[in-house]
Structure 1
Amino acid sequence: MGALLWSLLLLLQEAKGFSGDDEDPEEVVAALQESISLSLEIPSDEEVKDIIWFFQKNLVTVVPRKEGKSTVMLTMDPRYRGRVGISESSYSLSISNLTWEDSGLYQAKVSLNTSQLFITKSYDLRVYRRLSKPHITVSLKISEEGACNISLMCSIERAGMDVTYTWLSSQDSTNVSHEDSVISTSWRPGDRALSYTCRASNPVSNSSSRLISVGSFCADLGSPEKPSMSCLLAKGLILLFLLVILAVVLCVFQTRKNRELSRVRKLKRNRIQLRKKGSPGPSPV
């Protein structure tokens, strides 16, 4: 009876260990198309019989050999052939060239020769893409009061999941942050030009945009109904300059025309005088 109860207790412990319900999975993050290593911590005084790694099904079975011989992997999921490796010393599982499909729950079951119990370890692997440089979209609108209202939207191409956006601005020597993909502000001529930087982050990377100066977008804009005095003065000077040039051109043209007419009249008078001098007198009777 005692032997039967002991056997039942061992079965319950094995079932608990294999299910992974005895502890929460360790969260692990990795970058797309890169590598990850899932490590094991096995007591040095324990002799390992075999290790089975699970992912949705039996991923790989590892049988340690005697000293001087390499570890043997008996079975392997064909989807991971060429991408999975086992450490000779720690029996850690390494996966290279990660894909989206590699995300999920991994479990390792380590059977020991020194006892009928085994060690289990669980990992929750999440794969993310490294972020590219943020793209900034600018929207402007001039109010009736002459204020320049500006909205900056930060976005990442193929961002994926779990991306956070933070706007950083230096104002009055204090860093001000705004956690959202869009930030709105206003600017008037004479105001101190504010500058913003968008920083995007996910669990494996972060990337920042170039510095965006609000005043650079609004400085050349104004209300068409209320143009500034400097603008009116500049336009008046340009118009006056054009009128002066036109008057000079007309004066030069008229002077040349008068000279040409005077020359033509003089030539006509000379021709008439020559004709009078060369005409014959009356014939004698």
Structure 2
Amino acid sequence: MMDTATRVTDGSNGRDMVARPEPARRDWRRTLRVLGALGGWCGYLFLLLPSLVIVPISFGGGTELTFPPKTFSLALFRQFFADPAWWGACVTSVSVALIASAISIGVGVPGAYALARGRFPGKRVLETFAITPMLVPVVVLGLGIYKQFSMFALVNTVWGLALAHAVLVVPFVVIAVGSGLRHADASLEAVALVMGASRVRIFFQVVLPQIRASVAVSMLFAFLLSFDEVVVAYFISGPQTTTLPVKMYSAIRWEVSPVLAAVSTLLTLISLFVCLGIMALQRRDASAEQ
């Protein structure tokens, strides 16, 4: 809705002057903005409500999942750290996520650089192929990875899980790093090339310092995606390589243990810290550009 302004003629020079909108219209637009912001926050709180409910349940210390909790205790967290099955699954998830994020950075960063700066036939096809894991249903991808990895004895291994998760997270790394490369100064690379620097040296000494924030954000995001992944891990993992999300899924199916609340709280905290780290890196990168 557009404000209707009143035109007033200035008698001294005969020019039309536009008067300010009426106060009632300004109040109406302000009310719409407030209502829009309020609706957005209500939707956000609705999506966040399950996490807000599970946190107090994890401090209940009872034998059942009850809300509100009747007592305050850290017993569920002590059970989690004392149980080798839960703690071992957590260690496996962290190990797999670290390896998967390292692999995705090692593959995704050079791939994004080649797609951003390279000029070769089939570039568009390769760009589409790079994001294919994002387009294929995860169940279909998990089944295909399982059939392929079973031929190389990679099922029920940490490296098999890490490679499978790397397949999932590499597209996100390519997209994030590619966005950083679009904001990097390509003229510096041309100057370094004219001065006789090799492509490898240009990449490490000219390009990488400019996109270090994008690389760091990509690595944190890859770690978070791998740590929370459950579908592909359900296909690839086994008794010795059960990840924490798979352990949680199995516990929900066969037993509703109250320890699940403590595990959910820990996962929420890990995701929160990673997201805060990503936001801090993005803000730092934006400040550096200014």
Q: Is the helix fraction higher in 1 or 2?
A: 2
Q: Which has the larger radius of gyration?
A: 1
Q: Is the strand fraction higher in 1 or 2?
A: 1
Length-normalised TM-score, structure 1 = 0.20
Length-normalised TM-score, structure 2 = 0.20
Q: Which has the higher contact order (CA 8 A, sep 6+)?
A: 2
